[in-house]
Amino acid sequence: HDFPGCSPIVSQLRPQSRGRLWLKSPVPTDPPAMVANYLDDETDRRVVVEGMRLVRKIMAQPAMAKFRPEAYLPDEGPQSDAELLDVARRVGSTQYHPISTCRMGTGPDAVVDPELRVRGIEGLTVADASIMPTMVSGNTNATCIMIGEKAADLVAARLR
């Protein structure tokens, strides 16, 4: 690259907003419908706006001068909470780790039990990020590998 740079990113790693996923048709190959509801919860909106303000403070430090565009300075660009939230809604993105569409647990809203078996459907096991009842603070890859390993052990034990 011809110039120095950095990419400060604000991310609500444990969002409170909840989306929905449902089947649009009885045809199993049809894609499902989804409403993500990003920034639907007040806590998520507050965390993102506070994070954007913190990034501006960090980027305003003299050591960061050669890395920052003007939009990262505290007195440049959007100022109010509403303006910052509008920016987050327009240009924000996710970490692309949707989870919990088949939540594991013991409660009535749980789709799979602690043995990863789908309640009410004999012989069906789910072993991916959809069973995670809450988000981990980071990439879901390692957690999904562990879920897969545990599922393999559980299925193997059932077959013995």
Catalytic residue list: 97
Q: Where are the beta strands (DSSP E) in 19-118?
A: 20-22, 33-35
Rounded distance, CA 139 to CA 11, Å?
12
Name the residue with tokens 């089947």.
23
Entry field: residues in the chain:
160
Contacts (Cβ under 8 Å, ≥6 apart) of 39: 17, 45, 48, 85, 88, 89, 92
Contact between 85 and 68 (Cβ < 8 Å): no
